[in-house]
Amino acid sequence: MGKRILIVEDNADNRILITDVLTSLNYEVIVAHDGEEGVQAATSHIPDLILMDLSLPKMDGWTATGYIKANQDLRHIPVIALTAHAMVGDRERAIEAGCDDYISKPIDLRELANKLQQYLS
């Protein structure tokens, strides 16, 4: 397996699609269903990159990203926001929350592949 990617996504269809794409590209995939699980998975697995939905149950992606970036052992991990929040200012809000980049939903698989290559090469 290649690099390890944590997907934090509460929508099952999105999780399946992203997981299938990533495994076909030889990435190891870790899945979390909400922000709390995402922070725990990041801490226990130390992934190479995190794909973070921003609208999550229990703890939203903005808050989860804040916890991850506040942790000295995790702050180096690139976090890419995956979100349906595509209004003016949402990208900036995601970056301010600590995300390194932003992809709006529905996910353009070519854009996702390009971002992965950019952050993992």
Q: Is the peptide bond before 106 cis (omega within 30 degrees of 0)?
A: yes
Examine residue 4 and state whether it is found in any structural domain, yes or no. Answer: no
Banded pLDDT at 1 (limits 50, 70, 90)? low
pLDDT at residue number 86: 65
In tens, the pLDDT along 46-86 reads 999 999 999 899 999 999 999 999 999 999 999 999 988 66
Print the domain residue range for 83: 10-120
Q: What is the pLDDT of residues 89-120, one digit of tens each?
A: 778 888 888 999 999 888 898 999 999 999 99
CB within 8 A of 24, min separation 6: which ones?
Answer: none
Question: What's residue 104's pLDDT?
Answer: 87
CATH of the domain at 112: 3.40.50.2300
